[in-house]
Structure 1
Amino acid sequence: MSNNIHCYQDLINLFNRCFTETFNTRLIKGDDEPVYLPADDIRSYHAIFFAHGYYSSALHEISHWLIAGSERRKLEDFGYWYVPDGRTAEQQQIFEQVEVKPQAIEWILSMAAGYRFFVSADNLNGEATDASRFKQSVYQQVIEYSLQGLPERAEMLRAALSHLYQTSNTINIERFDITSI
């Protein structure tokens, strides 16, 4: 898979075409830290800010939005607990539990875009942990989504990415290789 065809502006345009009108939500290139901010007195729309124009950051933040219910979408960063890089093993385990579904969706979206996916434990300066169990959980969630289907908004974006990048319009589990993530 080549990443040289993946421009974050294409992803912004695609996401905004799919969701700005129906969900009043926009994808926006941000600076350092990604964040989801619900509409407020300053901004009349909900905003998903991704880091530094990184395509993978955009896919990851979108994935969180795609599984957040309507009440969570009213909260900054969907109301999730977050301890930054430098987590203890116990904190990392909690982080990984929250990240399984979004990272499974991110992997599926990445495949639809023909883009390389890497599972992210996001804890480079924390206690060393074995990521194999986390990777297996993400893979198992991909299998579950392939059998049961994606949430409606996730499927809508997956199909749009597949159309844009001319990739397979189905989630073919045989294309997902746990050793590659």
Structure 2
Amino acid sequence: MTAVAPHISPDCQHLVAIFDRCFRQTERTCLVGGADEPFYRAATGSGGLHQIEFSHDYFASALHEIAHWSVAGQARRQRDDYGYWYAPDGRTASQQAEFERVEVKPQALEWLFSEAAGVRFRVSADNLAQGLGPSETFKDAIHQETLRLCREGVSERVATFCRALLAFYRPGTELASLLQSRRFARSCL
């Protein structure tokens, strides 16, 4: 198990332990809290671990970064921050539109993870400096992607993590029950 910084809340400590049980050995990946900014650090060398670093002590940040990891394919997981484009807070309207386009899948998965952990999901536009909240188009796209995941199923990594979250936070709840679309009402966004 990963050593957890003492300043990480008990909820985040649990989340780190759950993630490590699922993926530390099989994917050589660990979850690390307390970062100033989220970051995915690819392993260096054959014996190293990949690290998903989440912001401060934020449970939602951890779930969101795990969602990005879940979307990234094998080749992307070999590159720091998956080799993706990112413009920081203060994006222009066109940069915000691109941000929303690439964030649909991760935020849909974050919604599934949040539901599995029994916490409220909040759509993030991640652009506080511009005062731009999430657009209705963005919210609708996340909702539609979540419903698609409920209909078509999720990857094995996502299923593994959801089952582990359910076992810890919602004992007795099965993955099939989580993936019932009635749990994901558009009005919740």
TM-score by length of 1: 0.92
Show structure 1 runs of 5+ residues with no match: none
Question: What residue is the counterpart of 2:94 in the other structure?
Answer: 90
| Matches of 1:6 and 1:30, distance apart in 2 | 13
Does residue 1:172 correspond to 2:176, yes or no?
no
Identical residues among aligned pairs (%): 45
Report the count of equivalent residues: 176
Show structure 2 runs of 5+ residues with no match: 1-8
What does the per-residue CA deviation read over 1:46-102, in whole Å, with 9 as the maximum and x for residues that have no partner?
000000121100000000001110000011111110001111111011111110000
| Matches of 2:124 and 2:134, distance apart in 1 | 12
Write the mapping of 1:1-181 to structure 2, written as runs, cut at 5 A: 7-40=11-44, 44-126=48-130, 128=132, 131-166=135-170, 168-169=173-174, 170=177, 171-181=179-189
Question: What residue is the counterpart of 2:3 in the other structure?
Answer: none
User: What is the Cα deviation at residue 152 of structure 1?
Assistant: 1.2
Going from structure 1 to structure 2, the CA distance change for 1:23 and 1:135 (only over 3 Å counts) comes to: same
SS of alignment partner, residue 130 of structure 2: coil
The answer to whether the 8 Å contact 1:114/1:165 transfers is: yes
The answer to whether the 8 Å contact 2:40/2:50 transfers is: yes
Superposition CA RMSD, Å: 1.7
SS of alignment partner, residue 25 of structure 2: helix
Amino acid aligned to 2:90: G
